[in-house]
Copies of this chain bind each other. A is one copy, B any other.
């Protein structure tokens, strides 16, 4: 029987080989939704629709929002109708005008991927100076993977305890073994 330390070490080794594969898709998980030209048009329309929704909800005219945001109203109109694809700076300005977070619009625009997990943990890893940027990216990706697993495992076990184990085997090399060890 393995000691806990050995078990962890083995996991780390397994994780290492997985991490190399995962690392290649790290920024892709963020950029993937921005990569393909076809979806760009849809995304422009999405953020435009979203802006219009928020503006309507706030009962603000296009000109009022444009003024508040510091952008031209014709341009804002074009953005809302998906005719133009605004830069991040413009999105941030519009967010300010709408009194919502810029990240919200970035996500709608497909610029920023929604992060799972605890923002504090994410921020801790991101700001840790003892890590290289690449290692940060790898840890964050793994962290998110685990959080998603934990979440789905929690939901699955809430539904049917018997089905919980097979469902946990949906993730790559790491989780299956983990699952086996606990069984």
- Spot the interface stretch: A73-81, A121-129, A158-166: A121-129
Q: Is the CB of A140 within 8 A of B101?
A: yes
For A95, give its contact among B4, B31, B88 (CB under 8 Å).
B31
In the bound complex, residues from chain B placing their C-beta under 8 Å from that of A141 are 8-9, 11-12
Q: Is the CB of A118 within 8 A of B130?
A: yes
Q: Is the CB of B12 within 8 A of A145?
A: yes
For A99, give its contact among B23, B58, B178 (CB under 8 Å).
B23
In the bound complex, residues from chain B placing their C-beta under 8 Å from that of A82 are none
For A134, give its contact among B113, B140, B179 (CB under 8 Å).
B179
Q: Is the CB of A100 within 8 A of B134?
A: yes
Q: Complex formed: what's the CA distance from A133 to B174 in Å? A: 14
Tell me the minimal C-beta distance from A13 to chain B in angstroms.
10
Q: Is the CB of B142 within 8 A of A12?
A: yes
In the bound complex, residues from chain B placing their C-beta under 8 Å from that of A137 are 4, 8, 11, 99-101, 104
In the bound complex, residues from chain B placing their C-beta under 8 Å from that of A88 are 34, 87-88, 106, 111
In the bound complex, residues from chain B placing their C-beta under 8 Å from that of A12 are 138, 141-142, 145
In the bound complex, residues from chain B placing their C-beta under 8 Å from that of A58 are 134
Q: Complex formed: what's the CA distance from A147 to B99 in Å? A: 21
In the bound complex, residues from chain B placing their C-beta under 8 Å from that of A126 are 103-104, 114-115, 117
Q: Complex formed: what's the CA distance from A7 to B117 in Å? A: 30
Tell me the minimal C-beta distance from A19 to chain B in angstroms.
8
For residue A169, CB closer than 8 A to chain B, the reply is no
For residue A62, CB closer than 8 A to chain B, the reply is no
Q: Is the CB of A136 within 8 A of B100?
A: yes
For residue A42, CB closer than 8 A to chain B, the reply is no
